[in-house]
Amino acid sequence: MSGIFRIIDQLPLANGLTLREYEVAAVAAEGISMKKIGARCGLEPDTVKVMLGARIYRKLGIHSQVELVRWWIENIELRNRGDCEACLLRQAHLAGTEDPQNSGKPAGSRTD
């Protein structure tokens, strides 16, 4: 890797991970072995182990691959789902329209 791609790869994302660390974390969050993570990411299994333990887990405040799977579901997958309850409520609030939990009535309407 050279030039601009090397620089982009090292830029931290919002959660402090570099693009490469994010890629490895995404694959590791599938719960697969270090050997399979390495094969998919083009890394040796020992490199994956060090990258996860010394960098990714530390930056995310976790300690294991099991915690990474949980963290990934809670922080990445649920935030990216457009149909989760919190997302719907936030969208309705930002739009100033309906409260999806209140049968189509305007947000803040009373039902009593």
Q: What is the DSSP letter of 105?
A: P
CATH class assigned to 3-81:
mainly alpha
Asked if residues 3 and 14 have their Cβ atoms less than 8 Å apart, the reply is: no
What's phi and psi for 92, nearest 5 deg? -65, -40
**C-alpha of 8 from chain center:** 19
pLDDT in tens, the chain (112 residues): 445 445 445 555 667 888 889 889 999 999 999 999 999 999 999 999 999 999 999 999 999 999 999 988 888 776 665 555 555 555 566 666 555 455 454 545 555 4
